Amino acid sequence: MTDSPDAAAVREEQPLSPEGPGDDAVSELDPQTRERRAAALARVRTFGDPVLKSRATEVTRFGPELEGEAADMISIMRDALGVGLAAIQLGIMHRLLVVQAGLDATPSAIVNPVLEWLSDDLAIAIEGCLSLPGVTVEVERPLHARVRGRDPHGEPVLVEASGLEARVLQHEIDHLDGVLILDRTEPEQRKGALRALREGETYSPPSTTDEDSRTEDDRAPEEA
- Residues in contact with Zn ion by the rule CB under 5 A: 19, 129
Based on the residue annotation, tell me whether 172 is a catalytic residue of this protein.
Answer: yes
Of the pair 8, 172, the CB lying nearest Zn ion is at 172
Least Å distance between CB 38 and Zn ion? 18
Instruction: From the candidates 172, 186, 188, 222, give the one annotated as an active-site residue.
Output: 172
Of the pair 8, 203, the CB lying nearest Zn ion is at 203
Compute the residue count for the chain.
224
Least Å distance between CB 206 and Zn ion? 22
Query: Within 13 Å and on the Cβ side, how many CA atoms surround 134?
Result: 14
Least Å distance between CB 82 and Zn ion? 8
**Residues 61-70: contacts with CB under 8 Å, at least 24 apart:** 62/111, 62/150, 62/152, 62/153, 62/154, 63/152, 63/153, 63/154, 66/96, 66/111, 66/152, 66/153, 67/109, 67/152, 67/153, 69/96, 69/152, 70/96, 70/98, 70/109, 70/111, 70/152
Q: Is 113 left (phi over 0), alpha (psi -120 to 50) or beta?
A: beta
Contact 203, 136 (CB under 8 A): yes
Least Å distance between CB 194 and Zn ion? 16
Backbone angles phi, psi at 206, to 5 degrees: -60, 145
Least Å distance between CB 34 and Zn ion? 20
Of the pair 54, 208, the CB lying nearest Zn ion is at 54
Backbone angles phi, psi at 160, to 5 degrees: -100, 110
Of the pair 120, 183, the CB lying nearest Zn ion is at 183
Report the first-to-last Cα separation within the chain, whole angstroms: 28
Of the pair 84, 192, the CB lying nearest Zn ion is at 84
Which of the residues are catalytic? 172
